[in-house]
Structure 1
Amino acid sequence: MQTIPSRKLSNGVEIPAIGFGCYKLADARITELMKNAVQAGYRHFDTASFYETEEGIGEAIRKIGIDRKELFLTSKIWKTEMADTEASFYASLKRLQTDYLDLYLIHWPRPDLSDPDWQEKDLETWHVMEKLYKKGDVRAIGVSNFLPQHLIPLMKNCEIAPMTDQLEIHPGYGQECAVAFAKEHGIQMEAWSPLSRGRATSHPLLQELADKYNRSVYQICLRYSVQQGIIPLPKSSSPDRMRLNLDVFDFEISEEDMYRLRTMPQAGWSGEHPDFETVTV
């Protein structure tokens, strides 16, 4: 079993440096997948109410019998739930069969692209999350899919700054501007779709570097995030792949090769952008 290093959030909470993404986990196999992930070494699990996997994850954790204190559980509030943030939060706790979360996020910054008052709605939700944090029901709070233009109005009016931000980040879609902003303001960046869901993994540069470092393309993608201080959240249904995805802490990509990855042409973008309608690519 792999031992995963951790990173420290701005409030001092330790978060594992790699997590397991729980989007679109097969309902019938959640317990099996969670058991395999725990056996591989994962302790950081990222879900959301929108994923509809919270209930299955909660049941899986109960069946596996792992101590809750060993786990780092993240969930997110969906766009349509922001009118009653507190109720949505406690509904997630109930489905996950836990009395606290390690991290709770606003899933998207603009619940309705046509709504000019989205900043106020983000702030209203955030103020409730601040209260939940102060109560101790959640150990850290953050956001997902927030770019600098979404973070700035929130940070100008909040009491507690976001501790994390989750964005689509992978070779070919590095989000360099947003990553730099997060680092400047002490926000821990996390990467969803760090393997581009396979869309960019056939790129010649990734194939070249996999051969050079005697690693898989997927390990190169994950090391790309880890080496920048970004927490990747890969998902896999294969126990072997789960273990390999954690085996990225014992090698280093050279400075030159990292610049090649960070400047490679856009590849593998999902088509999702918080300020525009989703584009199919």
Structure 2
Amino acid sequence: MSYPIKLSPHFKTKSGKDITIGFGTGTRWKRPLLKSGKNYSEELVDQILLAIDSGFNHIDTAEVYETQTSVGEALKRTKVPREDLWITTKYNGGFKTFKAHSKSGKDSIDKALKELGVDYIDLFLIHSPFFTTELSHGHTLEDIWRDIIEAKKEGKIREIGISNAAISHLERLFAASPSKEFYPVVNQIEFHPFLQNQSKDIVKYSQDHNILVEAFSPLSPITKAETNNLESNLKNLAEKYNKTEAQILLRYTLQKGILPITTSANENRLKQSLDLYNFELSKEEVDEIDKLGRENPFRLFFHEEFKE
């Protein structure tokens, strides 16, 4: 029996294929330029190709990760047509003491197109709203958003959104948009049972406004060292459904209407990450994961920015 998940909004590749959960090329893959003089990581290229061969068609990268060139190299080598793949990348506006890599949103987009070796990007996000004009070469959040809108009008970007946005940030983007056609359609946030709202009520607000929530770090409960009640619950569910604990967490995320972004260098784990549609957690099981997660609050990123 198949247990499909309907996400809203529901995105497809340019050729019309449903997008899979995302394969992330984030901080764990960040590498300095290799001594060989290559501007990409051969290791990461191999892992992206393995992910694509395992069935992923959704690759997530970002300017700040310095992995766009590695993704671009993988795109050159894969036999999968570009229009069958979904590529997400992000503008870096700077953070704390680190300045923006690019002088403007337009420069960031053009840089991404060049490094990825593509003529369009499926989804372009502002990586976080926590930058100042001093860090971003004089640009506000609204300035960058207008650059992204122009790129969408020009066909350089198919869909637009933001990452790590609270309700106030989404409202600013709504106000800066010339029409609903240019509202953000994705908000990528840290999400897992230990952090069910990165900021106050953000999941419900995003979904109520037709914004797909994407989850980074969805497997935090099994990568976090401390033993907790959720751990034994996940083990029991994994045994019941003949799945791994990671599959239980990814399925839980999907049943919340949230699209997870994950990563692995292991072929079996990659294939397992996509094998999520032949079982379904009951409402009671989802509620219990929620309850046990709330008992163990934990945040990986943006501790100061989301203090309440």
Deviations 1:125-174 (A, max 9, x none): 00111111111110000000001122122212322210100001112211
Q: Distance in 2 between matches of 1:38 and 1:12?
A: 16
The change in CA–CA distance for 1:21 and 1:179 in structure 2 (over 3 A counts) is same
Q: Structure 1: which 5+ residue stretches go unaligned?
A: none
Distance in 2 between residues matched to 1:189 and 1:226, nearest whole Å: 10
CA distance in 2, matches of 1:158, 1:152: 10
Which of 82, 89, 110 matches 1:90?
A: 110
Other structure's SS at 1:263 match: helix
Which of residues 273, 282, 296 is equivalent to 1:266? 296
Are 2:202 and 1:178 aligned?
yes
Structure 1 residues 148-159: aligned runs within 5 Å? 148-159=167-178
Please say if 1:16 is aligned against 2:46: no
Moved more, 73-82 or 140-149: 73-82
Give the corresponding residue for 1:109.
Answer: 129
Measure, in 2, the Cα distance between the counterparts of 1:87 and 1:169: 30
Unpaired stretches in structure 2, ≥5 consecutive residues = 32-40, 94-99
Provide Cα deviations, 1:31-55, integer angstroms capped at 9, x if missing partner.
2111211111000000001111110
Which residue does 2:224 correspond to in 1? 199
What is the alpha-carbon distance in structure 2 between the residues aligned to residue 49 and residue 82 of structure 1? Answer: 9
Alpha-carbon distance between aligned partners in 1 of 2:44 and 2:134, rounded to the nearest angstrom: 37
Distance between the aligned counterparts of 2:226 and 2:281, measured in 1? 17
Q: How far 1:65 moved relative to its partner? A: 3.0
Conserved in 2, the CA contact under 8 Å of 1:194 and 1:225?
A: yes
CA contact (8 A) 2:106 2:147 kept: yes
Alpha-carbon distance in 2 for matches of 1:153, 1:276: 17
Structure-to-structure mapping, 1:27-106, within 5 angstroms: 27-79=41-93, 80-81=100-101, 83-106=103-126
What does residue 270 of structure 2 align with? 242
Assess if the C-alpha contact under 8 Å between 1:201 and 1:218 holds in 2: no
CA distance in structure 1 between the aligned counterparts of 2:186 and 2:46, rounded to whole angstroms: 29
Which deviates the most, 179-188 or 16-25? 16-25
CA distance, structure 1, for counterparts of residue 134 and residue 287 of structure 2 = 38
Aligned-residue sequence identity (percent) comes to 31
Distance 1:5 1:184, change over 3 A: closer
Q: Distance in 2 between matches of 1:250 and 1:11?
A: 21
Q: Secondary structure at the match of 2:118?
A: coil
- Contact 2:127/2:164, CA 8 A, preserved across alignment: yes
**SS state of the match for residue 269, structure 2?**
helix
8 Å Cα contact 2:151/2:157 also seen in 1: yes
Cα-Cα RMSD: 2.7
What is the SS of the residue equivalent to 1:76? strand
TM-score (norm 1): 0.87
The equivalent residue for 1:162 is 184
Q: Which structure shows the bigger proportion of residues in helix conformation? A: 1
Q: TM-score, normalised on structure 2?
A: 0.80
Equivalent residue letter for 1:169: F
1:225-236 aligned at under 5 Å gives the runs: 225-236=253-264
SS in structure 1 at match of 2:263: coil
Instruction: Pick from 245, 251, 257 the counterpart of residue 217 of structure 1.
Output: 245
What's 1:135 paired with?
154
- Alignment length (residue pairs): 271
